[in-house]
Structure 1
């Protein structure tokens, strides 16, 4: 077998039949649910379990990340929103008007993550407005993680159903 053929079989543009796509999907959602507003979730659990310095560390890192997110949103939020909508609209057109499977795969990864990004911004605003600390802060972060996991579960389900449809109805054996 040719080296190039082996390489291109591993980096196949037929996303839904490629193992690397599914590994990336799992890693993406695992990472998204572990890092809550840029804070590793084990810090939330440690703060709840031990309090004291762990609680102070959690509040400090959340304050830093909330300030960072809200600063980015304030300074370049409209540009990021415009570019995000442009990218998602382009992906929708490429995916469903031009029927490009790679664009479908990227859209099924990118759209739910944009929802998580908006959720993160909303949670950051709530934390700042409330001045959340202690138990209220931990509860808010846990709720954010739960919503992220729900978005992830729905996303994985929709992606799996669409991927099975693509592989069965539109795949290489169907044509």
Structure 2
């Protein structure tokens, strides 16, 4: 047995029947829910509970990440949007028109993250317009986290239904 076939035996390209895909899906949404706008949510909770230096650290990191996100969007947002449209059009065409299951899986994994990115940009703009206080920052980040979790739940539901449909249809046909 050569190494090429053993690698593809371990990493099954039929993504929806592969345990690794579901592990990656869970880790991606868990991380997206914890790292809101690049800020760990436990820092927000600690700043509310403890205050003092942790609160100052939170406000500093929020200011830094807000400025960073908005600088990237303002400087190269159009190029990133064009690249994203190209990538997702290619994945959707390969996956749903030509039936490549790996492209379907990557599309269902990455496309909802673009919605989370839009939510992060909207909340970063909101944070820039207001004075950074612990109350306003924690409220905005909590709302951003809630929207991220809602997008994640819908994404996991849709991906699960589509994966079950693919596994059942391949099981019936194959």
* TM-score bucket (shorter structure): over 0.9
What is the distance in 1 between the residues matched to 2:4 and 2:86? 35
Residue 174 (structure 1) aligned with residue 173 (structure 2) = yes
Q: How does 1:98-117 map to 2 (within 5 A)?
A: 98-117=98-117
Worse overlay, 130-139 or 54-63 = 130-139
How much does 1:94 deviate? 0.8
Q: How does 1:5-154 map to 2 (within 5 A)?
A: 5-154=5-154
What is the distance in 1 between the residues matched to 2:158 and 2:54? 38
Q: Which consecutive unaligned segments of at least 5 residues does structure 2 have? A: none
- Tell me the secondary structure at the aligned position of residue 12 of structure 1: coil
Q: Which consecutive unaligned segments of at least 5 residues does structure 1 have? A: none
Worse overlay, 15-24 or 128-137 = 128-137
Could you list the structure 1 runs, at least 4 aligned residues long, displaced by more than 3 angstroms after superposition. 1-6
What is the distance in 2 between the residues matched to 1:138 and 1:34? 14
For the aligned residues, what is the CA RMSD?
A: 1.4
How much does 1:7 deviate? 2.8
